[in-house]
Amino acid sequence: MKKVFILLCIAAIFCGCGVQKKAKESFNMYDKLLTLTELNGSAVTLNADRPATITFDKAGGRVSGNLGCNRFSGTFQINGNSLKFSQLISTKMMCFDSMNVEDAFSTALNNTDSFEIKDGALLLKQGKNVLAVLK
């Protein structure tokens, strides 16, 4: 009886060790406004009136947001960690103070092929390169 108890205790210890795996980070990217904080490795200076943002509508498979000046919308497809934006359209206003961010963010969206959730942020990636960080 003692041997069975000791074996059960040892088995419980070994089984318990495998349970302490790193928990998958919880982050919901759907149906909320995410703000661009980093672009091509550089911090983005936010325009208080028109920050660059994105919202993912999970039910409709649609994406929309602000590039920094112009509004945009389109569709997205996710398969595992793969992410592809398509049919992106935007308004065509000219805003001299934010066109650099706008052009770079638009290019990042068009080049995105995957995503990662890290440290409470959504990382848009092309291959291993991080194109944009949104929180």
The full set of domain ranges for the chain reads: 25-134
CA triple 30-25-75, angle to 5 deg: 25
pLDDT in tens, 1-43: 554 444 444 444 444 444 333 434 578 899 999 999 999 999 9
Distance CA 80, CA 19 (A): 24
- Distance of CA 135 to CAs 84, 96, 101, Å? 19, 25, 16
Q: Which residue has the tokens 């650099």?
A: 100
Collapse the DSSP code of 11 into the 3-class scheme (helix H, G, I; strand E, B; otherwise coil) and give the result: helix
Q: Report the percent of the chain where pLDDT is more than 90.
A: 69
Q: Give the chain's mean pLDDT.
A: 85
Would you say 48 and 35 are in contact if contact means Cβ atoms under 8 Å apart?
no
* Strand bridging mode 42-43 / 34-39: antiparallel
Q: Is 110 helix (H, G, I), strand (E, B) or coil?
A: helix
Domain 25-134 class?
A: mainly beta
Residue 48 has pLDDT above 90, yes or no: no
> 82 or 6, which is more confident?
82
Question: Cβ(30)–Cβ(56) under 8 Å?
Answer: yes
Summarised one tens digit per residue, pLDDT across range 114-134 is: 999 999 999 999 999 999 999
pLDDT at site 50: 85
Reported confidence tier of residue 105, pLDDT bands at 50, 70, 90: very high
